[in-house]
Structure 1
Amino acid sequence: MNALHKTSPSLLSKTEQDSINDVTQKITQHSNELRKKYRLLSYQNVIGASVMTLSVTGMIIMGTLYIKGIIPAWLCIVTNALLTSLIHELEHDLIHRLYFRKQLFAHNLMMLLCWITRPGMPSPWLRRELHFHHHKESGTDTDVEAWITTSGSKWGAKRFLKLIDGFVFGIVNALFAPTWREKVRLTVKVLRLNAPMGLLYWGCWYVFLGYHLYTWTSSLMGFNYQPSPTTSMLMTVINSAVVIIVAPNIIRQFCLFFISSNIHYYGDVMPRNALQQTQVMNHWWLWPFQLFCFNFGSTHCIHHFVVKDPFYLRQMTAPYAHKVLAEAGIRFNDFGTYKRSNRYTMTQPNT
């Protein structure tokens, strides 16, 4: 049985624990059979390094083609968003030390590449601590990772802001804290989570938005704004950075957070009960979102039972795993979670 699911008998009934063990055992057995059937799967480090190399190289190529004027901005943005979704899956696996576990240089190099190509996210080394806690206490009040992705929040302008721009949300949340001490503490926390990559990433985005809003407003008012050579050169760099790195990651992160925050239950989940932590969301209308987070809604529930399988193997085990999960009572496409603020038991799920 997966170590993350060893739970005190006082928390779970024997029936629930047996069900968790059964799901974990069946999916693990199936993935092991796939490893035996397809020998290539035994080269896990090579596969991870190859996906990373192809993804980073693809981003560089698309960026170069855009800068040279060979492809339009939208094509670069969409392609790089898809590539960063692969890199996110690699980072998730790396956090669980699924690649180069004993080769620290290669492992940390891959972690660094994940951070550079997705600079709007906190350091993967910092995220490791949060993610391990997420597995242990998924859906409870101490699950910071789930809260960051908006799980448990009511739907409205505040949640959409958090999905789209976590940095501004964090600062606004700090400013409205009840005391000055709390304001300072939360502000420092936001800056720490985003330093240094995220500060450059969000700073680039805000300068881009501010500059183009100013020039657009000026033109509407009949002013002919002429930037200085220095400003023009700076904005050329920022415009390119937004197309190549920032905009792709904003799309990817919104899609990932939207899916992740709704497949995880939050607020009334029994501690360490994998049967209540997640659901499977694989309805057809979710595909525009799933596309930019590598089918996360369909496969992440599997990960909460079997941690040792890398992302590509979860995709392969999904058809079988879905049957096992359904037999264990895991929910599928419970869209009532939107109304329940991701609570598990407030009302019955939609059918």
Structure 2
Amino acid sequence: MENLLEIRDLHVHFTTYAGVVQAVRGVNLSLARGEAVALVGESGCGKSITAQSIMRLLPSPQGKIVKGTINFAGQNLVKKSEREMEKIRGNEIGMIFQDPMTSLNPTMTTGNQIMEVLRRHSRMTRQEMTARAVEMLRLAGIHQPERRLRQYPYEFSGGMRQRVMIAMALACGPRLLIADEPTTALDVTIQAQIMELMQDLRQKLGTAVILITHDLAVVAGFARRVMVMYAGKIVESGTARELFRSPLHPYTRGLLGSVPRINDRARQPLTPIAGRPPDLLNPPPGCAFWPRCSEAMQVCARQEPAMVEAASGHSAACWLLHPQAQNRRRVG
């Protein structure tokens, strides 16, 4: 299967008064045409910064891609000028931003906001843009789209605003859609509806999707592959089925252990991950997770583990996968 997106050794730094924050530290990611991949992890692990790097929307001059390539459809986006990126954003790559309550412009009707994307990237007439906006709202599951086109965001519920955001992101038929926490601030029922809508649109339009979330329950029925991020790095990658059934990295096991299960008749207590994420102003040597890991060994604190494939398509960066791991002394 041909890859639509390939990220290789991506490093993103932010210059602050306190020093340089190493927000993304060597991310490798690939995405095939029409594929759905989920990027999961705690807040602050680098998920959204990776997405903003793909879109080249890092705050300037603080944020900067200092190393790596982002190849999209054979083009290295890192080398593109701002004018060239303006032609790609919205047209080739669409993005659903966090928090539908604040992402829409309150002074513009929903119709004008959708048509603004079309106006910038197509040569449609006003009538054609209106018809396309109506079509996208209908595809997004909004009833009476002709009337809704003339309404303002304050007249919509949270779930409907998110549907408008999806309609805007897909208006130009992009080949890649980045959904950054698309179910934030929505109740569970609306979350399920939004994820079902995105899955349906992905299958109809053939759009590849990167889903960014910290909610593992959202991931299970949507993505074919899951990548787990921690401290600016991908620490585990595999199919959703394999990763949920037999996680390899202690951090992944910690995330899964923190999620309540409906079928847990024994009512086992949730097991939170002890400690807190490392300070990326000064990342720890070795594996960034070792200070919080109950299975940490001496080598974990000294040397960074490489990504090891334990099964076909399932890999993790952890010293526990080393054949001599059982013979090594634990930390502490």
- Identify, as 1 or 2, the structure richer in strand: 2
TM-score between the two structures when normalised by the length of structure 1:
0.27
Task: Return the structure number with greater relative CO, CA threshold 8 A, min gap 6.
Answer: 1
More helix by share: 1
TM-score of the aligned structures, taking structure 2 as reference length: 0.28
